[in-house]
Structure 1
Amino acid sequence: MKFSNQNRVYLFGLTVLLAIFSSCKKSDNPNDLPSVNPQDYAGKIDGFGSADEIYAKNLVAYWSFDGNKNETKSGTAPTSSAGDSFIPGGVKGQALKLSGGYLYYGKQFDAFKTGAFTSFTISAWVQILNNGSKKTMLFQIARPGMFDGNVDFVLETQANPASNVDYLQIHPTFATVGGGRQDNINNYGATNVSPAIGANKWINIIVTYDASAGTFNIWGNAAKIGNYPDRGTGDALFKSYEPNEIIIGGNYNVIPSKSVNADTGFAPMTGSIDEIRVYNTVLPDAYIKTLYNLGVAGK
């Protein structure tokens, strides 16, 4: 087929326009959020209508606490619990209130088996106050019979006097391939910030570990607040040991007949928890911010 010079110019111009449009569309959406079309955002946040849509294929454990204490992905009910009740006014629906309490799930969670769980994101919404005397274990991927778990989501609620109603010291740790522990914390070095806590304030706390980069981050209300994200390299890489169990609001030493040593540094949790989500990948920054914004909106 032959083309006139005029047609050749038209086709060349059309090709250039398509290339420019494709390039602009890509650069306008660097974080690969679901859509860049304004009409697709009606009633949504960053194109999402619910937190359930965020990396749904990588969500391996979820506690909604909407009138139910089961882990919803596996249907696992707690083996034992204490000081627990449901309250209205959660981030979404109801929430779990712990009054010197905990939830203990005494079974192996397949989602956290060796090889299946390397990078991770753990997100939780919390209402809590400092107590001035004991640490709080918000969430633990526990190793049966051992004090330290695979992941220990520790809140240093003892580190500040109970009168300090604003600052929360967040100090997560994880087990390493070298047999030690790695941590991050938000109260040393250049970063010394925290979401403002309170008995009636929901705050979102997230920890992420990127196995490919060896980075371990703390997020508070969608802002990075950890001081030591880059210490998880070499033999400090995360190791998921088996078997495993889950404890929310405590560790083995706060569960009657489960104590593993003489450490009394932790107390059963007093505070409220909602929307615990565990992913087997590290969520990109933009998605962490969207997850927070969806929670604020109750979605």
Structure 2
Amino acid sequence: MYRIQRTIFPALAIASLALVLGSCQKKFDPKSYAPAETFGGYSASNEVGASSLVAHFSFEGALVDSVSKTSATGTGTSYGTGVKGQGLSIGLNNYATFIPTDAIKQLQSMTIAYWVNTPINSAGIQEPVCFVNSTQFWSNLDMFFDGQTDASSVFKMHLYNTAQKDAWLTAWSIANPWGTWMHIALTYDATANKFTFYVNGTQIGTISQAGFGNLGFVNFPLSSSERSSFRPLRA
């Protein structure tokens, strides 16, 4: 609550002023007067490149993709406080799985972005997102923390192209990644064969893979236990 300071007036003037303040000040919320906060002209992540968006999960008490209107299946998941609104709480045995839409399977170039907040995992890698490939050990898309120390972690990424040739992006480290919200983003330009990695909106680096071409997201499992998933840990 904000306190409105006032100058001492004669008693009669104070009495009439107090009546006015009493009705306005009781539940004053300064946020109600603030304009909508925007970033680069956008007020929500699904407004950025909306015509090209193929999936968007806000995790506001539900696992629904607002683009396809289909839902993931949660296993031991819950909802906590996110950067804005809620966030999905997952762990080694708590995860959500999602059957990818045709739009996801047909991606050639792409951007994938999300917020993540995690403690260090001393038992193995931490993989917030993967697109499972049922015929391979590694997924169609893997994004994970590896080489963890208290002060840093290497963030590694793996993808397949349409010929099932894989690309490994392993050159980028993140300082002080634990216990804080970070925005992770990876873009791939199939025409230029170039990957670009961002952390908190800052470009960390680029890697070109000559002749890599279009992405190849194939062999997605259809069972409830092995779908494209939000899975944070792999021992």
TM-score by length of 1: 0.59
Give the structure 2 partner of residue 294 of structure 1.
none
Partners of 2:63 and 2:37 in 1: CA distance:
30
Give the structure 2 partner of residue 248 of structure 1.
230
Matches within 5 A, 1:271-286: none
Does residue 183 of structure 1 match 2:163? Answer: no
Partners of 1:217 and 1:183 in 2: CA distance:
13
Per the TM alignment, residue 246 of structure 1 is displaced from its structure 2 partner at its CA by 1.5
Give the structure 1 partner of residue 155 of structure 2.
170
Give the structure 2 partner of residue 152 of structure 1.
142
1:21-76 per-residue CA deviation (whole Å, 9 max, x = no partner) reads xxxxxxxxxxxxxxxxxxxx985332223322210011111111111122222222
CA root-mean-square deviation: 2.4
- Partner amino acid for 1:197? P
Give the structure 2 partner of residue 87 of structure 1.
80
Partners of 1:58 and 1:235 in 2: CA distance:
22
Say if 1:208 and 1:195 are closer, same or farther in 2 by CA, change over 3 A. Answer: farther
Partners of 2:176 and 2:193 in 1: CA distance:
29
Say if 1:79 and 1:65 are closer, same or farther in 2 by CA, change over 3 A. Answer: closer
Does residue 225 of structure 1 match 2:204? Answer: yes
Asked whether the 8 Å contact 1:186–1:218 carries over to 2, the reply is: no
Q: 1:238 aligns with which of 205, 210, 215?
A: 215
Q: 1:98 aligns with which of 75, 90, 93?
A: 90
Say if 1:243 and 1:133 are closer, same or farther in 2 by CA, change over 3 A. Answer: closer
Partners of 2:213 and 2:138 in 1: CA distance:
15
Does residue 211 of structure 1 match 2:196? Answer: no
Q: 1:119 aligns with which of 87, 109, 116?
A: 109
Asked which structure has the greater RCO (Cα within 8 Å, sep 6+), the reply is 1
Per the TM alignment, residue 237 of structure 1 is displaced from its structure 2 partner at its CA by 4.9
Aligned positions, number = 195
Partners of 1:79 and 1:47 in 2: CA distance:
34
Say if 1:134 and 1:213 are closer, same or farther in 2 by CA, change over 3 A. Answer: same
Asked whether the 8 Å contact 1:154–1:173 carries over to 2, the reply is: no
* SS state at 2:46 partner: helix
Say if 1:198 and 1:108 are closer, same or farther in 2 by CA, change over 3 A. Answer: closer
Asked whether the 8 Å contact 2:191–2:213 carries over to 1, the reply is: no
Partners of 1:53 and 1:179 in 2: CA distance:
33
Q: 2:72 aligns with which of 78, 82, 85?
A: 78
Asked whether the 8 Å contact 1:126–1:205 carries over to 2, the reply is: yes
Going by fraction, where is helix more abundant, 1 or 2?
A: 1
Asked whether the 8 Å contact 1:85–1:96 carries over to 2, the reply is: yes
Give the structure 2 partner of residue 135 of structure 1.
125
* SS state at 1:143 partner: coil
- Partner amino acid for 1:182? A
Give the structure 1 partner of residue 5 of structure 2.
none
Structure 2 gaps of 5+ residues are 1-34, 222-226
Partners of 1:42 and 1:74 in 2: CA distance:
27
- Partner amino acid for 1:229? I
1:114-163 per-residue CA deviation (whole Å, 9 max, x = no partner) reads xx31001010101112222211221112223543222111221xx224xx
TM-score by length of 2: 0.73
Larger radius of gyration: 2
Partners of 2:73 and 2:40 in 1: CA distance:
38
- Partner amino acid for 1:136? Q
